[in-house]
Chains A and B, each alone.
Chain A
Amino acid sequence: MSTRKSTGRIELLQGTLDLLILRTLRLGPANGHEIAKAIERGSDDVLQVQQGSLYPALHRLIRRGWVSFGEGTSDNNRRANYYRLTARGRKQLEIETGKWDRLARAIARILRPAEG
C-alpha cells in the first residue's frame, strides 16, 4: 500500500498488468524483480507496480499457458528461476495489444473529439 508515497504514479488495473507482463517477457525471459523494474522503467516511472501483485498475475498467465517457468542462470551466474513467454503467449500478446489499441483510440476520440 504505497499509494500515498508516490504522487505521480498511476495504479494499474489487474487485466492490464497481465498485458504488460507479456510485453515485457517478449524481450526475453526475466525473473520477478526484473519484470517489475522493466515496467516501471519502460513507462518512465509513470506506472507503479504493486510488486506483490506480480506473482498472482504471473501464475494466472502460467495457468493459461501463455507463460512458462524454468531455470536458468542470471547475470552473476547464479541459478535462478525465470519466466518466459510461450508461443501461445506471443500470439495472445498480439491479440491483446490490438484490443488495447482499439480501446485507447475509442476513448481518446470521446475525450478529445476530432479537431476539425
Chain B
Amino acid sequence: MHRKRALEQLDRDIRDHIDQDVADRIARGIAPDEARRQALVAFGNVTVTKEDTRAVWTVRWIEQTLQDLRYAVRMLRRAPGFTAAVVLTLALGIGANTAIFSLFEAIVLRTLPVNSPDTLYFVAQGAERAAPGGNYPYVERIRARTDVFAGVTAYFRSSSVKVSTEEGIETARSLTVSGNYYEVLGVAMAIGRELSADDDRPGAGLVAVISDGYWSRRFGRDPQVAGRTITVDGRPTVIVGVTAAGFSGLDPGAAPEITLPMAVRTLDTPDFLTSHETWYGDMPIVARLAPGIAADQAAAVVDGVLQQYRSEPENAWLFANPTGGRVRGLLLPAGRGTNGLRDQYTQSLQILMAMVCLVLFVGCANVASLLLARGQARARELAVRASIGAGRTRLARQLLTESLLLALLGGGLGLLLAQVCTGAIGAVVATGATPILLDLHPNAMVLVFTATITILTGLVFGAAPAIACTQVDTAPALKALGAASPSSPSRLRWSTRPVLVAAQIALCVLLASGAGLLVRTLQNLETRDSGFDRRQLLLVALDARRTPFPVTQVPALCDALAERLVQRGDVLSAACARNIVMSSRGNARPLDVPGAPPLPENARVVFTNMVTPEYFRTLGIGVAAGRAFDTRDSATAEPVAVINRSLARHFFGTENPIGRQVHFYQDKGPSMRIVGVVEDATQRNVREGVLMTIYTPLAQVREPEGLVTMAARIRSTPAALAASLRADVRALSPGVVVDNIRTMDQQIGSTLVRERLLAFLSTAFGLLALAMACIGLYGVVSFDVSRRLRDIGVRLALGAQRVNVIWQVLRTALVVSLAGIAAGLAATVAATRMLAALLFDVTSRDPLTLAVAAALLLLTAMAASFLPAYRASRIDPIVVLRAD
C-alpha cells in the first residue's frame, strides 16, 4: 500500500530533495562544493530523518510492548533470587501439569495416525455391553455390504511369536491382520510395501511387515531390510515393508513389532477362514464408512447382518444370553483405538490432573504473594512513573508484562522438567507383565496445553499485583523514606497474603488426604492375604507352542525340570500351571453338577486351571479335604478334579463333595471325580479376590497346553537360579522357549501398576504443594514480623518475655493455618468422593487419614512459622528503636 511504496522510495526522495536544493543554490551563484555543504546542513541529519520516518509507521503498541519487555528483563535481572524462586515455583507447577497431560493425551485423547479417524468404526455386538469380535465368515458378510462400508478389515490382538536369531530364539510382539488392513486404515510405509489381499491367501508365501521400533532394535534401521528373510515360529518369512514411525496398531499401549497376514492362522487351524464354530472375542473387525453414509445408517445394516447370521441354525449357539436381553449389532468409534487402556486409566488420570491443577494453584498463590510483597517495595518507583504521566493502565500493563515474562520462563523450564518426568513414568509402565508402551514425545497438543496454562498462570497471578500495586497514592509514596511505609499500604495488598496462605493450606490438606487415601489403598492391596505364600517364589514361562518340542510332552517336561531343580538343592519345590495366580490368563466355563440344586447357567460359571501335582504345595495353598493330585493321575487314569472352598460351598453347601462327579457344560468328554478341596486363593488380581475354581491335572488335559508357567520356591536369590534355568530347559527339551523370569512379588507388582503410579505421584504432588505452602507461610510470617518490628522492640524493651513474643507471632500463623485446615477438611469431605472407585478397603472420608493430613499440615505450618518467630524474639530492642 502507501506505506510500502512510500518507504521504498524514501531514499530516492531524499536524494532528489538534496540534489534539487544543490541545483537551486548553484543557480543562485554558489560554488558547487559550497552549495552541497549548505544543502546538507539545511536538510539536517539524513539518517535521523530516515529513522524518524520509518518510526512513523511502527505500530505504537508493539513499540510500547517491546519497551515493557526490556524493562521487565532489567527488573528481573536486578533481583535474581526473586526471579529464580518464582521461575522455579512456576516450573514445578507447570511441569507437573504438562507431564500428566502428556499421559492423558497419549492414553485418553489421542487419535490414531490413520486416515480420517472419525469414519473408522469397530463392528461390535452384545446385549448390555457391546464388544468387538467375530469370525472370518462374518467379516466377509460385513465386507459384502459395500453400500455402507468403503472398506472392512480385521486383526487379532497382539500375541507373541518366536523369531530365530543367531543367539537363540527371542519372542516378539506380533499382530495378524487381514490383507487390506493397512489399506483400509490408510497407514503409510516408511520402506517397502504394505501387506495386500494377495498375501492373505492360504498357501501364499509368508510375508511380514515390521514396526519402526523393531526395525531400529533388530535391524539397526538398515535401509535394505525389505526382502530379508527371518524365521518366525519356525517358518521362513520375508519382510516386505516397515511402517512409518508413530503407528502402533489399534490397541493403545500395545506396540506390535511384526505384523503377519491372517492366513498364517490356517497353518494351525486349517479351517480358520471358513469355520463358524468359534467366535473370537480378540479379533476386532474394523470398518470405514462409505462417503456420505452416516454411522447409524451403517449400524442398522450391521444389526441386520448379525440377526441374519444368528438365524442360521449352525450359528444359533452364539450369544445365548442367560439374562435374555436382545443382542444387537452396532458400531463403536475406532478413531482412538480400543477402549481397554482408556477404561483402566481415564479416571486415575483425571484425578491426577485435578491434583496437579491444585499444585499449580498453590504455586501461583506463592508467586502472587511474592509479587505483592515486591510490589510494595517498588511503590516508590511506580509512584515516580505515575507522577510523570504514566496512566494506571500503562503501569498495570508493565507489571502484567513482567508477570507474563516470569510465566514464560517458568513454562519453558517446566516443559523440560515435564520431559524428564514423562520419560520416567513411561519407562515404569513399560516394564512388567503387561507392559504399556506409549509414545510420549511432546506433540502439538501438549505444547498448546503448556502454552495455554503458562499464559493463564501468568494472567492469574499477575492480575492481583497489577491491580493492587497500581493503586498508588503518589504523594505519600514519594515522601516515604524507606521501603516499609506502614502508613498507607494498600489494604488489598497486606490482607490478601494471609488469605492466600490459608487457601494454600486448604489445598494442601485436600492433596494430603487424597494422597493418604491412595497410599493406604496400595498398602491394603499389597498386603491383602491372597491365600498363598508369596515369599521366595520364582515364576518362569515355558513356551512350547510352534516349536519342534511336542506339546503333549509338556507335563512330563515340567515334572522332569522340577525334579532336577529340587535334586540340585536350588529349590524347595516346583510346579507348573496353565494359569498362574496373579495373572490375567485363564478361562471360565459353566459347570454341571448332577444332583446339585439347579442354578441358572451364569451362576454356574467357574474358573478353570490345569496344574501339576506339586502346585498346591509349592504355592502354599492348604488342602482342606481329600487329597491333591499325585502321580496316579496320569493321562490314562480316571479324570479327577480338585475344587476350592468357594466352589464347594456354592455347589455343595454343607455336603461332602469328595467323590462326586462333575463335568463342564456341553462337554462331550467323561466327567471328573472330585478328589480334594483346597483353600481359596486370589486368582487374577487382588481387587477381584477369589473365584470359584476347579483344578484338573495338567497331564489329563485333552487339548495339550503349550504355554505354562512354572512356579518354584527358591532357597537363595532369584538371579542365581535364572541363569541356570535356560541351560536346564535346553538340556531337557530342545526348542522350548524360557521367557519372562520374574518373582511373585514382581508379578503382583505388575498388577498394581496403576495403584503404584497413583500413590507415588499423588504423594509427590502433595509434598511439592506442602513445600510451596511452607514457603508461602514463612514469607507471610516474616513479613508480618518485619511490619511489627517496632511493636516487638517496644514490648521487649518493656520487659516482655521472649517466649511471649514467639507465641504472639505464632498465634497469627496458627489462626491462618487453622482457618486453612478447616476449609481444607470441608473441601476434602466434599471432593474425595471422586476417588471412591479407585480405593480399596478404605472409605473416601476415612477419619484416620483426614486426621493425619490435618495434623501433618498443622505441624508443618508451625515449623515453618517457628523460624521467623524465633528470630523476632531475638531482636535487640535498642537497635530497632534507634533505627526509627
Residues of A within 8 A of B (CB): 1-2, 31-34, 36-37, 50-53, 55-56, 58-60, 62-63, 68-69, 80-81
Known: A2-B41, A55-B53. A68 touches B16 (CB 8 A): no
Q: Which residue of A32, A56, A62, A63 is within 8 Å of B17 (Cβ)?
A: A32
Chain B residues, Cβ within 8 Å of A80: 16
Which B residues are in CB contact (< 8 Å) with A50?
A: 44
Q: Which residues of A contact B6 (CB under 8 A)?
A: 59, 62, 69
Looking at chain A's contact residues, is the secondary structure mostly helix, strand, loop, or mixed? Answer: helix
Evaluate contact between B52 and A51: CB separation under 8 angstroms.
no
Inter-chain contact B17/A33, CB cutoff 8 Å: yes
Are B16 and A33 neighbours in the complex by a CB distance under 8 Å? yes
C-alpha spacing A56/B685, complex, angstroms: 80
| Chain B residues close to A by CB (< 8 Å) | 2-3, 5-7, 9-10, 12-14, 16-17, 20-21, 24, 41-46, 48-50, 52-53, 55-57
Apart from A53-B44, A56-B56, A60-B56, list 8 A-B contacts with CB within 8 A: A31-B13, A50-B44, A51-B21, A51-B44, A52-B52, A55-B13, A59-B57, A69-B2
Q: In the docked arrangement, what's the CA distance between A81 and B6, Å?
A: 9
Residue of B2, B46, B57 touching A52 (CB-CB under 8 A): B46
Once A51-B43, A55-B13, A81-B13 are accepted as A-B contacts, the answer to whether A63 and B48 lie under 8 Å apart by CB is no
**Are B44 and A52 in contact, with the CB atoms below 8 A?**
yes
Task: Report which residue of A58, A59, A68 has the largest number of chain B beta carbons within 10 angstroms of its beta carbon.
Answer: A59
Partner of B56, one of A31, A33, A37, A63: A63
Contact (Cβ within 8 A) B48 A59: no
User: Taking the nearest CB of chain B, how far is it from the CB of A88, in angstroms?
Assistant: 13
Q: CA A62 – CA B13 in complex, angstroms?
A: 15
Nearest CB in chain A to that of B44: its residue: A52
Would you call B20 and A33 a contact (CB within 8 A)? yes
Residues of B within 8 A of A34 (CB): 20
Query: Contacts of B13 on A, CB cut-off 8 Å?
Result: 31-32, 55, 81
Which residues of the other chain, A, contact B43 by a CB distance below 8 angstroms?
51-52
| CA of A51 to CA of B50, assembled, Å | 12
Which of A36, A55, A56, A62 has the most chain B CB within a 10 Å cutoff?
A: A55
Task: Report Cα–Cα, A70/B7, bound state, in Å.
Answer: 12
CB distance from A40 to the nearest CB of B (A): 10
Q: Give A24 Cβ to nearest chain B Cβ, in Å.
A: 14
Question: B5 to A53, Cβ gap below 8 A?
Answer: no
Q: State A9–B227 Cα separation when bound (angstroms).
A: 92
- Name B52's contact: one of A55, A62, A81 (CB within 8 Å): A55
Query: How far is B13's CA from A80's CA once the two chains are assembled, in angstroms?
Result: 8
A51 / chain B contacts, CB cutoff of 8 Å: 17, 21, 42-44
Query: What are the residues of chain B within 8 A of A36 when measuring CB–CB?
Result: 17
List A contacts of B9 (CB < 8 A).
69, 81
Q: Would you call B56 and A32 a contact (CB within 8 A)?
A: no
Considering residues A36, A51, A63, A68, which has the most beta carbons from chain B within 10 angstroms of its beta carbon? A51
Shortest Cβ gap from A15 to chain B (Å): 14
* B46 (CB) vs chain A CBs: closest residue: A52
A116 to chain B, nearest CB (A): 44
Within the complex, the shortest CB–CB distance from A75 to chain B, in Å, comes to 11
CB pair B16 A31 closer than 8 Å: yes
Contact of B48 among A33, A52, A60 (CB under 8 A): A52
User: Which residues of chain B come closer than 8 Å to A55, judged between CB atoms?
Assistant: 10, 13-14, 49-50, 52-53
A67 to B13, CA, bound (A): 16
What are the 7 A-B residue pairs with the smallest beta carbon separation, nearest first? A52-B44, A52-B49, A33-B20, A32-B17, A56-B52, A33-B17, A59-B56
The answer on a CB contact under 8 Å between B53 and A56 is yes
What residues of A have a CB within 8 angstroms of the CB of B3 in the complex? 62-63
A60 to chain B, nearest CB (A): 5
CA distance A69 to B42 in the complex (A): 24
For A81, the chain B residues whose CB sits under 8 A away are 9, 12-13, 16
Report yes or no: B16 in contact with A1, Cβ–Cβ below 8 A: no
Chosen A-B contacts, 15 in total, with CB atoms closer than 8 Å, are A36-B17, A51-B42, A52-B43, A52-B44, A52-B52, A53-B52, A55-B49, A56-B53, A56-B56, A59-B7, A59-B57, A62-B2, A63-B56, A69-B9, A81-B9
Are the CB atoms of A59 and B53 closer together than 8 Å?
A: yes
Q: How distant is A30 from chain B, measured CB to nearest CB, in Å? A: 11
Task: Give chain B nearest CB distance to A112 CB in angstroms.
Answer: 34
B45 touches A52 (CB 8 A): yes
In the bound complex, residues from chain A placing their C-beta under 8 Å from that of B52 are 52-53, 55-56
Among B24, B46, B55, B57, the one with the most A-chain Cβ atoms within 10 Å of its Cβ is: B57
- Min CB–CB distance B47 → chain A (angstroms): 10
Alpha-carbon separation in the docked complex, A72 to B143 (Å): 74
Q: Which chain B residues lie closer than 8 Å to A53 at the CB level?
A: 44, 49, 52
A36 to B42, CA, bound (A): 11
Closest chain B CB from A51 CB (angstroms): 5
CB pair A56–B12 under 8 Å, yes or no, is no
